[in-house]
Each structure stands twice: as C-alpha cells, then as structure tokens.
Chains A and B, each alone.
Chain A
Amino acid sequence: MVEVTLWGALAATAGGQSKVEVEAKDIRELFRKLAEQYPGLEPWIDRGIAVAIDGTIYRDTWSKELPQGAEIFLLPRLAGG
C-alpha cells in the first residue's frame, strides 16, 4: 500500500482528497488502480500525469517501482521550451 498525494485540481476529481492510498507496486498499476477507484481521474491519466517518487519526477516509465514508504506525488505533465 502506498500513499499518493494529488495536486489541487486532481484532488477535486478524487472526492476532494489530497492524499489517497493505493495498493500498487509500480506506476502502471498505480494508474490502473487510481482509475478504478476514482473514475474522474481517468481522463487526466490519459492526458498524461507525471509521478514524483522520493523527489525524482518520472513522466513515462510505467515499470518504475514504488518502494514501500516512498513519498509519491502526482504532478501535471509539463511542456518544455
């Protein structure tokens, strides 16, 4: 079980919760379980969400493992210049 922090706009789609608990071992499973538990999140996930694991931001690596006790934040997927 990992605790995931959602940023402001995302929290609104998860019933106003800024922190949710999910049973997931990697980013792929995290997204799948989040979409199951909070259907309002699915369009956001489809559009692209970045996952910060202990401060390092991952944008594309589904297979990245989520260590127990890790700090996990969901962040908007940003554009660069």
Chain B
Amino acid sequence: MNFDPRFSGRKFASVGTRPIRPDGVDKVTGRARYGADFNMAGQLVGRVLRSPHAHAKIRKIDTSKAEALAGVKAVITAADLPDLTDGDAAMYDILDNCLARTKALYDGHAVAAVAAVDAHTARQALKLIEVDYEVLPHVTDVDEAMAHHAPLINDTVFTEGLEEKPVKPSNVTKRSQFGHGDVHQGFGHADFIVERSFKTEQTHQGYIEPHACVASVSSDGTAELWVCTQGHFVYRQHCAQLLGMEASKLRVTSSEIGGGFGGKTHVWAEPVALALSRKAGRPVKLVMTRDEVFRASGPTSATSIDVKIGARKDGTITAAEATLRYSSGPYAGAWAEVGAMTAFACYKLDNVKTVGYEVLVNRPKTAAYRAPSAPMAAFAVESAVDELAKELGIDPVEFRIRNAAQEGTQSSYGPVYGPIGIGPTLEAAKNHAHMKAPLKKNQGRGMACGFWFNFGGQTCTDLNIGMDGSVSLAVGTVDVGGSRASLSLVAAEELGIDYSQVKAIVADTSSLGYNDMTDGSRGTFSSSMATISAARNAIKTLRERAAQMWDISVDDVAWEQGHAVAKGEKHGNLGKLSLKEIAAQSGKTGGPIAGHSELVADGAGVSFATHICDVEVDPETGATRVIRYTVVQDAGKAVHPTYVEGQYQGGAAQGIGWALNEEYIYGKDGRLQNAGFLDYRIPVCSDLPMIDTQILEIPNPNHPYGVRGVGETSIVPPLAAIANAVSNAAGVRMTHIPMSPPRILAAIEAEREG
C-alpha cells in the first residue's frame, strides 16, 4: 500500500452534503432483501433443539426417532461438527456455543438440530430427540458467581492476570488492571470523596431482524451462505474453519441487515445450517425465533461496579478508582477489561486505578454491544462524578470541564492523547439552550460524558468506471447505517463527479479481498480510506488514458473537478476531457478503467460525546418519561451529516431503553423469563422525544478527510445522563440499571423512610 492517510484540510464539494441513500427506496417499499427473504429451490427448514436447563451434563442424545420421521432429511449434534479449532480457544468457544459438546451451559444452549421438508415436521422432529441430562447447580448473577461457594461452570478455568498463579479453579477467567500514579496518596489529598457501588442488568442489542441464513453445500464440497451479518468475510472464516472447508470454496453474501449493534459479529447458527445442508444434500434455511434470539444469541454483560473518586475543594479530582465485574456468559471474555480501560478516559487524572474481573455465569455467551462495556462503566463513573460535583457545590458541567482530558493528557488506559473532543463537547453542552431551559415539578436534568476507542482494520475496495462514465463502488464492509451513501459521496469527491453517478454495493466474499467486519465504528472510517485510495488509483489511469487521447505525456495531465486537464503552454489549445469522455474511449485506450485498494486503515481517532437529558418521574408510580434529549459528539468530519445524526439518535434511543426498562430476568431455575418484546421492553417511538444532535468536527489527523467513527460513542453517556436526571428528579441517587418503575418507587420509598 502506498497511501498517505494524513489529514489534508481540503475543501469539500460532495462530502458534508445530504443526498438520499441508495438503499432507501427499497427499504421503505419492502423490496430490500434481509436475511430471511432469500430462498433456494428445494430448501429445507432448519430448527434447533435447545437446553431447558441452565447447567447440565449431556449424558446421551438419541436422535433415532427423529431421523425416522417422514420428511426429516438430516439431524445433527456436536458429533457432526468435530473440533477443528486446533487449539484456538476463542473458536472452540464459538463451536461449543453453536452446538453443546459435553454440557449445556445456559437455558437455550443448542444441543441438536434438524432439517426437514417443512416447519411442522422440523418441530415434530425436535420433540422426538431424546436428551439425557444430568442437571447441575447453576449461577446467573455476576456477584454470586464470584463467591467461594458458587457452582463452578468450567473447572479447567484458573484466573489469569493474578500475581500468584491460582491453585483452585474459579468462575473468574481474568483480572486486568490499568492506571497510573498512586491512588492512595491521591485520596489523601482529597477534601471530598464519593464512594458507591452500582449494578447494571444484562441487556440485548434488540435488533429487529433475527439471525437468519440460507446455507447450501454442494456435493463437490463448495458452498454458498446467504446471511444477515456485520461481517460476511469473518463469517466465511469462522464457518470454513469450523466445517473444515477452504475459505475460497465458501461464498458468503451479506443480506441487508435489520440491526446488529455488535450482536452479528460472530457466528451463532450459520455453521449449524451448513452442517445440516452438508448432511441433507439440500439447501437449508435457518431463522431464529425472537425467543431464540433472546435466549441463545449474545447479549451484553451484567455488571457490578465499585467507584471511588476524590477531589479538592477547588474542584480538582485528586484520585479515581474503580473495580469492575462483568459477566461473559459461560465462556471467557475481555469485557471488564474494556470497561476498565474506558471508565475514566474522559478525565485528566494524576492518580487512577481500574481493575476488571471477567466472570463466568450460566447465561448466553456475551457478545459485543455498541461500544461494548463502556456504557456500564460510564454509568458508574459519571454518576459518582455528578454526586461529587454536588458535594463540592460546583455545576456538573463546569466540574467536568475543569477535569477534562485534553491533547497531551495521559489517558487513564495509558497513552497520551492527541487532538481530542471531550473539552469541546462539554463547552458545547454548557452553551446549549437545553442547559438553560426551565424544569417543572418532578422533572430533573442530567448530563454525562462518554468515550470510545474506534477501530480501523483490513479493508478492500474496487471502483469500476463503466463505458458510460458511471461508477460502481464495491466495498466489503456491511452497510449498517448508511455507509453506501457516505462512501458514494467520498468516491464522488475524489473523482470530482456528481453523487448520482456513483452506485455502491456490498460485494460478496468471492468478489473482493478480505474485509474485517463492520464493528468498532469502522465502516465509514476504513472503507472511505480505501475508497479514496481506489479512486486515486483510478484517476492515475484516467490521466494516462487522457494522455493517450491527446498524445501527450501523462506528466502534463492533471485531474481537476472530474476532468483531465492538459498542463503547460504547449497544450493551451486542448480542452478538458471529462471522466465520461475518457470512459467512452476506454476500449481503445487500454480496456476497462478501474481503481483497486487494499489497506489496513489504522489510526482511528478516539471519540467523545456529552449528552443532556431531561426526565419527568411520577412519584406515585415510579414511571419515567424522557422529555428532552440532546447529543453533542465529535465526528471528526461528518461525511453524510444526516446519517451521522442518525447514529447519534440511535445510540441515545438504545441507551434510553437500557437505562429505563430493558433487562434479562432469570428465575431461580436459571431460565430466562422474558424472552420476547412483550416482556423485554425496548423503547418505541411514543416513548421517545425528538433527540436533538450537535455534530462537532475535530479532524482525525490520521484520515485524509479527518473522519472519526461515530457509530458507538453515542450509546456510552445515556445510562449515566438519564440516571443523573432521574436522581435529580426523584431526589434519590439511582445506582441500579434499569431504573424501571418498581426500582425507582422502591428507591423513593426507601429515601422517605430514611
């Protein structure tokens, strides 16, 4: 790769405008094809049998009766997916999660699957599979799982990261620690100290589209997979490895995606569908029900967090400390580690220490959820920061501004910051009209900050110029939030043509080089870099072709505003050549004109946001209504401002649901009691106010246009902003998320009773 990613400070013609997205009409008219909208001739219906137990040894599975049922074409168990992971522990966990091997580790864990001619037969077949379980003691609570008497979920797990190697197995898979300075000394210099414990319950991303795929394995060993995913190249890798296939023989096509938010970043049922198809010799369609999505795909961690922050009377924080315990389901994770890294990232701290514990529980395998782990840490820290500001008698925004990290600050997770946007988002919030609006009885205002890292990664893009001068852009990052529009704008910007001349698609895995998935807010950041590079390569060819058409040296040809321009006095009589004119002659000047790019988009800039929230709490019922909400966030450069605003609003909306209502509720039997949208309440339109947004643009020095990722940071502050608002409205500090009506009512009553 010979590409200079540095920010150039150029003026834009297309970038920053708001054209209609290319996938918009199909989506609003129902033509867009999602995971479950694909069908193949002769396809079978796949169904999965799931454990009713939270923790049980699988003694035996008898599939003979199911196999004998007319219409059943294949029945599989873990024996049909042998372990090919070659010591890769993370892949082994994914394999075991797809089909339990020796133990069912949570209510909903897949134990067998069938493919039949129709759904009725498939359901009947599931009932005929006999599983002999030995039920084991279970634990679903993160704190209880850390207790000495807790049932062990995996007796081969010994805690990593301890100074002394442990001699006994534990449900804690890892301890991690970050920070600098001396917190003990720092607290000694504090005039006020706030110390509190917080809990957040497990939530699901709540994507509207369930996991769905159609798998077709041919007798020659090649296969196709049509699937809703955030990363079809990653799904290809996972499936090929787990089924013992060569990656090139498995073609994966990503459908439109009805939400992922981190939950569609690794495989859940796709290897099962492929294994069924391989055994049956026919295509198999497998669509999860909503019940299955809740019970058996990956929600976020439940957490238990202790925070201690001290400050001098002048409002300077002297020390900050947090202990974070995050559940990871029954498999090892690094979720508390991320929480420990992000917890105090907004602040300039001389003395800071965070410790994270990864905890196994009998719940579904934890998956990423939009800025994974950061919202819970921010809830705990920003609640304590707010309380400390109150103790000090300093305005909460002013207190945060006084302690905000800035360029040159050593971050709480280690490195020194470059140019960052926490200060500007706080200043913008301070000056926002929302902060000055009057509040009525039972209403409260809260604000909070949030941080997220953002990633780049491997990216490959093709830009093809048709003979009519139109441009096809093939990208490999799944479009989860309007990236086909933003990437078309970038191609138009570089080539100097109109947005309407560019058509972007998400190419399948056989048509393009490997791409990392759309996670870490990397879609537009990474693929725009690759698009710029591909367009510049195409421009080089366009200049060469123009030179041929003019019969002059390519060194005398420049590219300006969509045209080849001959430079130098001797070429003064040559008119410009448009992209269209050059493309029309391409057959005679060397063939098709295209630009290709493969690169690693590294150097994604970190991102900050500040949110302001007003709520009204009914003291009789504990019900909360969000009445006003404002998001201020740094985008680096908003390529398509409407879709940046959409990301800001979407993160806030999900955060509102998480803060006020959403939670996994388990019975004493370890079974999930609310696996459906009737009992697991995500916000609907009538629950939400118009969410105002303010985009700040502090350029990322490591992107030609200054772009930063924007997709995740917006979900980091809401839990805390809403908790601060509810605490102010109800007159009692809320420490447990979600702040559902019963929980708020109990807190108000406890406060009354003293």
Contacts and interface: CB of A to CB of B under 8 A. Distances in A.
A54 B418 contact: yes
Interface in A45-81: 52, 54-61, 64, 71, 73, 75-76, 78-81
A16 B138 CA distance: 36
Nearest to B368: A81
A81 B372 contact: yes
Contacts of A56: 418, 602-603, 605, 702
B604 A9 contact: no
A38 interface: no
Given A55-B417, A56-B603, A59-B602, A9 B161 contact: yes
Nearest to B452: A80
Nearest to B606: A57
B458 interface: yes
A64 B602 CA distance: 10
Contacts of B520: 78-81
Contacts of B712: 80-81
A60 B416 contact: no
Nearest to A74: B414
A52 B338 contact: no
B337 A71 contact: no
A57 to B, nearest CB: 7
Contact of B174 (A9, A55, A61): A9
Interface string B403-436: 0000000010111111000000000000000000
A9 B176 contact: yes
A61 B519 contact: no
B370 to A, nearest CB: 4
A61 B600 contact: yes
B368 A73 contact: no
A80 B456 contact: no
Interface in B630-688: none
B416 A80 contact: no
Interface centre among B262, B368, B415 (most CB of A within 10 A): B415
Contact of B415 (A9, A71, A81): A71
Interface string B436-464: 00000000000000000111111000000
B700 to A, nearest CB: 9
B457 A8 contact: no
A70 to B, nearest CB: 10
Interface string B163-196: 1000000000011111000000000000000000
Contacts of A76: 176, 334, 337-338, 341
B216 interface: no
Interface centre among A54, A56, A75 (most CB of B within 10 A): A56
Given A9-B161, A9-B174, A12-B163, A80 B418 contact: no
B530 to A, nearest CB: 14
Contact of B176 (A8, A52, A59, A81): A8
A58 B370 CA distance: 21
A31 B521 CA distance: 27
B261 interface: yes
A56 B453 CA distance: 10
Contacts of A58: 602-603
Contacts of B337: 76
Contacts of B600: 59-61
A60 B456 CA distance: 9
A3 to B, nearest CB: 13
B457 A79 contact: no
B175 A81 contact: no
Contacts of B417: 55
A55 B418 contact: yes
A80 B522 contact: yes
B368 A75 contact: no
Contacts of B368: 79-81
A57 B372 contact: no
Interface of A: 5, 7-9, 12, 52, 54-61, 64, 71, 73, 75-76, 78-81
Q: Top 9 closest A-B pairs, CB basis? A: A80-B520, A81-B262, A8-B177, A80-B519, A52-B415, A81-B368, A9-B161, A81-B370, A73-B414
13 contacts: A7-B414, A9-B176, A54-B418, A55-B418, A58-B603, A60-B456, A60-B457, A61-B602, A78-B338, A78-B453, A78-B520, A80-B455, A81-B372
Given A57-B604, A79-B372, 10 more contacts: A12-B161, A55-B415, A58-B603, A59-B456, A61-B602, A71-B416, A73-B415, A75-B414, A80-B455, A81-B369
